[in-house]
Structure 1
Amino acid sequence: MEREARHGTVTSPESRAHLHLADWQAAGLEAGKFFPATESGLTDPYAPDDVPNSQPPEDGRIASAGKDFAAKLDEPDARQDWHKHPVAAGKALDITWHYHAPHKTRRWNYFLTKSGWDPAAPLTRAQFDLEPIATYQNHGQPHWSADLLPEDPTIHSVTLPDGREGYHVLLSVWEVADTGNAFYQVIDLNIT
């Protein structure tokens, strides 16, 4: 595959993509926005002038954003034994995004796997709480006249919920205002 201009990745704590793909690949995990939506053509309820979404990744291909070059990211932990960052329940975790090509940004959403999820199975929507544990939203509208370009790097402080322990996956989704896409990054955590 030819190296194309890519867009952004989570570098701290290192995402699964950042650890296991070339940098240009890790920054190119792009699919339709509005996770956990499964259909395309949806309008943003907060910013209806933003571009409607493209097709989001299907279940089992969330970590790769449906990209064939990143398919190994979709393998369950039982096959890969993913590197797990040690973190604490109820404490803030700083998430750092770096960009290769910044886009006008509507929001970042952070989803965590449910208690009792199955790490031996591929990641599906049913494995995650469907409400984000944190959302960072840019309010400027319409997108073509607002300053929605993110700072590089962008750092968010995400508080992990109490009551979760052991291995969990944090799904970080960067939603773009002026395209139908988002960038998908998963971070493997060991919560104490």
Structure 2
Amino acid sequence: MKSKKKLAVVLGAGIAPLLAVGLSSGTAQGHGYISSPPSRQAQCAAGVVPCGPIKYEPQSVEGRKGLRSCSGGNAAFAELDNDAKGWRVTPVSRTTSFQWRLTARHATSTWQYYIGGTKIAEFNDGGARPGEIVTHQVNFGGFSGKQKVLAIWNIADTANAFYACVDVNIS
């Protein structure tokens, strides 16, 4: 009887690490964020600005569609909404490339870009599943100077979207 218990303990100890790695990989997969110019969550992940849990999962700023916040309404990432946190501002030209790094492929309806309450660009993917890197050329129109750009990746087959804010100085 004792040998069966020992065997069960040994097997359990050997399998537990495999289960922990296998089960956690599903949640660590994430989704997507803007890597260039560096979004607020990219700055957190790179250690440019001291941040809480978002530094470990910059791709996870997900919330229901229609929000207009950098955190996507996620309380755990509320510091992304703090404009006074010391975000680095990237100098950009009137037309700039925004590069999304995707860690999960979702069917996409639209990508939207806002300054304040004004939509400055929208790209319609019509349900396509983009690759790992997605780049958009965004024209800022009449905006200049220091601006916060809110970028939204609307998923086609769920009620959710992914959110990213990028601080820029438009020349």
Change in 2 beyond 3 A, CA 1:106/1:24: farther
Letter in structure 1 aligned against 2:77: A
The CA deviation string for residues 104-159 of structure 1, in whole angstroms up to 9 with x for no partner, is 0111011112xxxxxxxxxxxxxx22xx211110235xxxxxxx101220110001
1:138 paired with 2:125, answer yes
| Match in the other structure for 2:29 | 5
Runs of 4+ in structure 1 off by over 3 angstroms are 21-24
1:84 paired with 2:63, answer no
Return 5+ residue gaps in structure 1 as ranges.
Answer: 36-55, 114-127, 141-147
Q: Which TM-score applies when normalising by structure 1?
A: 0.66
1:64 paired with 2:71, answer yes
The CA deviation string for residues 88-119 of structure 1, in whole angstroms up to 9 with x for no partner, is 3xx21001111111100111011112xxxxxx
The CA deviation string for residues 139-183 of structure 1, in whole angstroms up to 9 with x for no partner, is 35xxxxxxx101220110001112x23211111100001111000
3-state SS of 2:60 partner = coil
User: Which structure ranks higher in relative contact order (CA pairs < 8 Å, sequence separation ≥ 6)?
Assistant: 1
| Match in the other structure for 2:62 | 30
1:152 paired with 2:132, answer yes
Q: Which has the larger radius of gyration?
A: 2
Is the Cα contact below 8 Å between 2:106 and 2:130 reproduced in 1? yes
> Which has more helix, going by share of residues?
2
3-state SS of 1:86 partner = strand
Q: Which TM-score applies when normalising by structure 2?
A: 0.74
1:171 paired with 2:150, answer yes
Q: Matched residue pairs, number?
A: 138
1:6 positional shift: 0.9
1:4 positional shift: 3.4
1:68 positional shift: 2.4
Letter in structure 2 aligned against 1:179: T
Choose from 104, 112, 115 the match for 2:115: 112
Query: How far apart, in 2, do the equivalents of 1:157 and 1:169 lie?
Result: 17
3-state SS of 1:27 partner = helix
Is the Cα contact below 8 Å between 2:113 and 2:122 reproduced in 1? yes
3-state SS of 1:161 partner = coil
Query: How far apart, in 1, do the equivalents of 2:96 and 2:157 lie?
Result: 29
Query: How far apart, in 1, do the equivalents of 2:136 and 2:78 lie?
Result: 27
Is the Cα contact below 8 Å between 1:5 and 1:24 reproduced in 2? no
| Match in the other structure for 2:98 | 95
Query: How far apart, in 2, do the equivalents of 1:100 and 1:155 lie?
Result: 15
> Which has more strand, going by share of residues?
2
